[in-house]
Amino acid sequence: MDIEEERLRESIKNSVMGLFRLKKQKDVFVKGSSRVQYAGAVFDDKESWAFINSFLDGWFGTGKKAELFENMLAEFIGMKHGMVTNSGSSANLLAISALKSKQFESKLNDGDEIIVCANSFPTTVNPLIQNNFKPVFVDCELGTYNPSIESIKEAISSKTKAIFIVHTLGNPNDMVALKEIAEDKKILLIEDACDALGSSFKGKRCGSFGIMSTYSFYPAHHITMGEGGAVLSNSLNMDRILRSLRDWGRACYCKHNEKKSNGACGRRFDFKFKNLPYGYDHKYVYSHIGYNLKPLEFQCAFGIEQFKKLPQFIEQRKRNFDIMQSFFKKYEDLFVLPKSIPDAEPCWFAYPLTIKEGSPFKRLDIIKYLEKNLIQTRLLFSGNVLRQPAYEGINHRVSGNLKNSDIVTERTFFIGIYPTINKERISYMQEVLTKFLEKHAKR
């Protein structure tokens, strides 16, 4: 980079910093006119400049920034390999698709059963259907919104090959018990940790117990790239399968900066495949029916700066959750409050509430009231996914009943606790909630 380019880049950087100083001055919460979002991207000039600076480098495909982010994430979670994707939904699709790879030693087949919670996000379930697996739905528990260990044990049949477990809203499952079940029954354990970056069980990060784990960096999540996701694994073979599926299905596993003309394998022009001429360039040999699910390099540059703030974000989410938990304790006659199991340390995505049977108001009453007062609410994703129009007639099995998932569908919602919700916003939320709840309280 020459002196003139450095000068121009520095000028752009200073402008970006100035813009964010101005934005910060204008970020004043005004009761009654400022919206309290349930979630959102929390970033400043550091992420913005990293994005722009990477863009100016002119390398758009995944490169050194992507590799650095992958390594940071894998090290934080405690897994050996990380691969970025363009979304958490794509991460789930790739993780489940990899189970059918001919190169996977425990390859699954059409019709194999995979256990999943009925109270789910659609793109946790969709890859099971898209890969012709048979989802086996289990119920959740109210408060944790995760399935019980007993319900998973009861769901296992001779056709069960995997458990795809979700840490709902960042609340950890009993991963030690689940890992023991998986090992005992010789079935696979995969973690959907899209909501759970920063959550732990028995001092070990969620996402480090299964053979793979998935993450989302959508703006609502703990950190963001704008859009983005990742799959982590402990197997080099699995990492190569995942990368092949993500990158059009190609067989080549050279990194972006591979310098050897004959490739990392040393055999780029020395392969012979059944129906291809000898020496067909390995970069254009396809070993999987794959996709193109890569993010952009400058998204990863943005993500690196976000990752540096993750400890602060985790602390702020936990603080906000504790404040709201303390507030709602006096309204336990009206709500099932969120709870975690022993040895779990959740970094909650949001604050969920289930209205108790017999409460003097309906979910629609309180969420319309909150939204009218500019406090965003959301339902707990799909609720019982089998009640959604898209899932009518799918090949599936239900183990036990889905009573609690139905209750979630009818009576559960959540509000935000993400880092931008500061003292002023929390105070306003509590003020608005108090007016509604005191009117309906049974005391």
**Is 221 one of the catalytic residues?**
yes
- 412: Cβ–Cβ under 8 A, 6 or more apart, which residues? 145, 352, 353, 354, 355, 363, 379, 380, 383
**Residue 152 included in any domain:** yes
What does the chain come to in residues? 443
At 23 the pLDDT is: 87
Beta strands in 295-367 (DSSP E): 335-336, 344-345, 351-355
Same-domain pairing of 285 and 314? no
> In 3D, which of 307, 301, 309 has the Cα closest to residue 66?
301
**Residue 396 included in any domain:** yes
Same-domain pairing of 154 and 294? yes
- 226: Cβ–Cβ under 8 A, 6 or more apart, which residues? 41, 217, 219, 299, 302
Backbone angles phi and psi of 131, in degrees to 5: -100, 10
At 32 the pLDDT is: 87
Q: 285, 306, 327 — which closes off a domain?
A: 306
Q: How far apart are CA 211 and CA 207, in angstroms?
A: 9
Q: What is the CATH number of the domain that holds 348?
A: 3.90.1150.10
- HSE at residue 238, side-chain half, CA atoms within 13 A, is 25
Same-domain pairing of 196 and 264? yes
As separate numbers, helices (DSSP H) first and strands (DSSP E) second, the chain gives 13, 15
Helix (H, G, I), strand (E, B) or coil at 190: strand
- CB < 8 Å & 24+ apart, contacts of 423-431: 424/29, 425/29, 425/34, 425/36, 426/320, 426/323, 426/324, 428/29, 428/31, 428/36, 428/375, 429/36, 429/324, 429/375, 430/327
Helix (H, G, I), strand (E, B) or coil at 43: coil
Same-domain pairing of 164 and 65? yes
Same-domain pairing of 254 and 314? no
**Residue 28 included in any domain:** no
Same-domain pairing of 368 and 431? yes
**Residue 27 included in any domain:** no
Asked whether 149 and 101 are in contact (CB, 8 A), the reply is: no
The total number of structural domains in the chain stands at 2
Q: 247, 276, 306 — which closes off a domain?
A: 306
Question: What does the block give as tokens for 114?
Answer: 């995979």
Instruction: Show the CA angle centred on residue 177, arms to residues 173 and 178, nearest 5°.
Output: 65
In tens, the pLDDT along 390-431 reads 999 999 999 999 999 999 999 999 999 999 999 999 999 999
Pairing of strands 134-138, 397-398: parallel
Q: Would you say the C-alpha torsion 54, 55, 58, 63 has a positive or negative sign?
A: positive
Same-domain pairing of 105 and 204? yes
pLDDT beneath 70, residues of the chain: 442-443
At 255 the pLDDT is: 86
Same-domain pairing of 276 and 399? no
Same-domain pairing of 178 and 291? yes
Q: What is the CATH number of the domain that holds 129?
A: 3.40.640.10
Same-domain pairing of 328 and 280? no
Q: How far apart are CA 120 and CA 135, in angstroms?
A: 12
Same-domain pairing of 258 and 327? no
Same-domain pairing of 171 and 202? yes
**Residue 273 included in any domain:** yes
**Residue 393 included in any domain:** yes
**Residue 19 included in any domain:** no
- 297: Cβ–Cβ under 8 A, 6 or more apart, which residues? 54, 57, 59, 60, 61, 62, 63, 65, 66
**Residue 49 included in any domain:** no
At 27 the pLDDT is: 84
Q: 306, 329, 350 — which closes off a domain?
A: 306
* Catalytic residue selected from 81, 167, 221, 282: 221
Show the domain range for 239.
56-306
